[in-house]
Structure 1
Amino acid sequence: MIKVGIVGIGSIAEDYIDMFSKGLINGAELSALASRNQERLSEISGKYALKDTRLFTTLDEMIAGDTVDAVLITTPHALHPSMAMKAMEKDKHMMIEKPLGIRIGEVEEMVAAAAGKPHLTAGVMFNNRSSDIYNFVKRRMEGSSMGELRRVVWQVTNQYRTYDYYERSTWRGSYETEGGGVLINQAIHQLDTLLWMTDLPQSVTAFTKEGFHRPLTAENDVMIQMFYPNGASGQFMTSTHESPGTNRFELSFSKGQIVIEDDSAVKITTLTLDEEDFARTMKGAFPEVPHAVERVNFPKLPNKELQRRLLNNFIQTILGKEEIICPLKEGMKSVRMLNATYLSAWQEKKIPLDFDAKVYDQAYEKKIQKK
């Protein structure tokens, strides 16, 4: 039985505590909780009848002995790298809530440290990586039937948030306390999924609006233009102020197209031959490439089910029975993409994805000093 401790007892952590209390995480037990908020710890302990779960005020206390074998890190974004480093120093497995951190430099240091301890299991909570629909799409892309990527477009504007959402938690929507706005919080699952499908682009140009019709100082409206090494291009658009919003993910290839809508419906168009071969040989100005269409629908799974799958995978990986779904090296990509996007928006220019981490650190410090 793997002994698990959770540090940071917010709403996400409570979802995980509920799963443990209901026996939904196989091969593990919730042996400890850590939080500076003692009142919250007592409340949670009583609510879920955690008689055998030890309570600590700090992560250091929780990982000092053998109370836990693994740690779930659910604290604010900026604390993730330092807490992960502490867990590794004590030889604890770790699952980190998204994102891995807010600055790519410290995240890369953390990932490098984890690579030096291959006996430890380390993963990131990116929900879509455990979903049936996105795994189905990923498998279809990995075959040869779709050809070369030409364009990717994801419009995910169904991340609606109210004024109250930002006003009752003052740390939300701040570059200083959250590391950003909609891109680092609400839409990061989609951003990670896009990078999982296409890998990192070569460069980006981004436009953001900060505090657009909402009481926050970070961005809540984003448009990213992406440029890939093979000449493909892409767009990623998101916001928290549109209703009704749209969730449409479109991937175009030389041999067809895949469209995913509302995380539940997939339409796959497969051309009978490569588009450019058709264009070179077919006579006529406006013919349509012959094609076949396949439609597949999936149940729209709640986040809690996707989270349960990830946590079970984490435990089974520790036990040597599975491989981690989203390792740290994969989770690191979204942080580099986030930083490149913010740099582009702040400096109003195209940013290569191999930018120097120190350049972002300097720009970030300058940004938060203007608050």
Structure 2
Amino acid sequence: MEKKIRFAIIGCGVISDTHQAQIQSIEGAELVAVADHDEQKARMLAEKANADWYVDYKKMLERDDIDVVNVLTPSGLHAEMTVAAARAGKHVICEKPLDTTLEKARKLVEECRKANVKLSIISQHRFDPSTIQVKQLIEDGKLGNMVLGQAAVNWYRSQEYYDSGEWRGTWKMDGGGALMNQSIHTIDLLQYFMGPVESVYAHTATLAHERIEVEDVAVATIKFKNGSLGTISGTTSAFPGLSARLEVFGTAGTAVIDNDILTNLYLKDVPSNTSDHYSVQSENLANSKMNQRGTGATDPGSIEGNSHRLQLVDMIEAIKEDREPLVNGEEGIKPLEIILAIYESANTGKPVEISSFAEFKKVNF
């Protein structure tokens, strides 16, 4: 019988239910322990999973029957806890973002390499069927040369959401607002499709919430290294919570993903229904309907878990095959770098070149 891959969770907040459920849905995977500084949260999740619980996560890491640790704590603790897990010889799945600064994120990746453990950063939408299809079309040249990419996340978070935890809406622990916490997945897919970013120019503001340090609305223009252009807009002020939308346009086609569903796909190599040069009609090859399946537009606890499951399976396969996870540490740095450059641009009022942004600084854990 093949050995089970045993998981542990650090951080028993909102997203932990998704991770717990998906781990337990995978044949050959087992959740054996959870940890949270809040004893009640740890107990509740442990009872649900029939697992052991800890208040001190470092004590949990001393166990020799844990293969993978899922770090699900506030963003500002990710590096500290991931490094501790790596030094204990555990593979790590870390929720987005890697951490709140590039220095800590890069140190995190370095420490996992040094400990020879595998690191996967949650970017579950890379595993969506819509993402896989569009990425393949781009790689096959079906969309031609990329021209424009537009990411818009029009979500809503109430004041009560931010008031529910002292860490929420703070630079130190949340690392940012509508972009860092809510829009990061769509920003990741934007650069995944369009290619590396050369520069950004941005504005951010806090307009609809009180008692938060971070932005609840942001806009940015993007220049990609391949010469194409883009825009990013994100908010947690779009009552009652609308869609996350990603549009990519190439010289040979267009693709639109709305709420994780490929809703529009047009390719020039598909014959047109008309010979009129001024009125182009083309078949929508997406052949799908928009729906509002667990997107997190209003409630982060409603996020559907199937794509998380696929990313967990990828980590299990990476361990068994001794290969890199599909979304490794270096991939996790990319959207973080873009978002932090946007914040820098908003603070300085100037464009920011990604290549010259934030030199690596020594960070000790």
Normalised to the residue count of structure 1, the TM-score between the two structures is 0.84
1:176-235 alpha-carbon deviations (Å, 9 max, x no partner): 22111111111111111112212331000011112x111222101010100112321100
Query: Is 1:135 matched with 2:126?
Result: no
Distance 1:152 1:315, change over 3 A: same
Within-5 A mapping of 1:232-247: 232-243=228-239, 245-247=242-244
Q: How many residues align?
A: 342
The 5 A counterparts of 1:141-152 are 141-152=138-149
Equivalent residue, structure 2, for 1:123 = 120
Where does residue 331 of structure 1 map in the other structure? 332
Deviation at 1:246, TM superposition (A): 4.3
Question: How far does the alpha carbon of each residue in 1:76-101 deviate from its partner, in whole angstroms, 9 at most, with x for none?
Answer: 10111121111121211110011111
Mapping for residues 242-257 of structure 1, pairs under 5 Å: 242-243=238-239, 245-257=242-254
- Amino acid of the structure 2 residue aligned with 1:122: L
1:68 corresponding residue in structure 2: 66
Kindly provide the CA deviation profile for residues 280-338 of structure 1, in whole angstroms up to 9, marking residues without a partner as x: xxxxxx85678665233278654212212222222232222886231111111011111
Match of 1:226, SS state, is: strand
Residue identity matched to 1:41: A
Contact 2:248 2:254 in 1 (8 A): yes
1:307 corresponds in structure 2 to 308
Equivalents in 1 of 2:269, 2:280: separation in Å?
Answer: 7
Structure 1 position 296 matched with structure 2 position 287: yes
Match of 2:176 among 176, 180, 186: 180
Cα 1:349–1:61, aligned 2, differ >3 Å: closer, same or farther? same
Report the CA distance between 1:137 and its aligned residue: 0.9
Root mean square deviation of aligned Cα:
2.6
Q: Give yes or no for contact 1:147–1:253 (8 Å, CA) kept in 2.
A: yes
Corresponding residue of 2:18: 15
Instruction: Give the whole-Å Cα distance in 2 for the aligned partners of 1:321 and 1:103.
Output: 29
Q: Which string of whole-angstrom CA distances, capped at 9 and with x for unpartnered residues, describes residues 3-45 of structure 1? A: 211111112113322344xx30221211111222223222333
Gaps of 5+ in 2: 271-276, 295-303
Q: Retained in 2: the 8 A contact 1:257–1:268?
A: yes
Aligned residue type for 2:266: T
d(CA) in 2 for partners of 1:288 and 1:326? Answer: 42
Give the deviation of 1:349 after TM superposition: 0.5
- Give the equivalent residue in structure 2 for 1:354: 355
Indicate the percent of aligned positions where both proteins have the same amino acid.
25
Partner Cα distance (1:114, 1:267) in 2: 40
Letter in 2 for 1:223: V
Question: For structure 1, which segment, 291-300 or 93-102, has the greater mean C-alpha deviation from structure 2 after superposition?
Answer: 291-300
Q: How does 1:163-174 map to 2 (within 5 A)?
A: 163-174=159-170
Q: 1:6: which partner in 2? A: 9
Larger Rg: 1
Conservation of the 8 A alpha-carbon contact between 1:27 and 1:315: no
- Sort the Cα spacing of 1:15 and 1:289 in 2 relative to 1 into closer, same or farther, 3 A: closer
Corresponding position: 1:231 with 2:255: no
Structure 2-normalised TM-score? 0.85
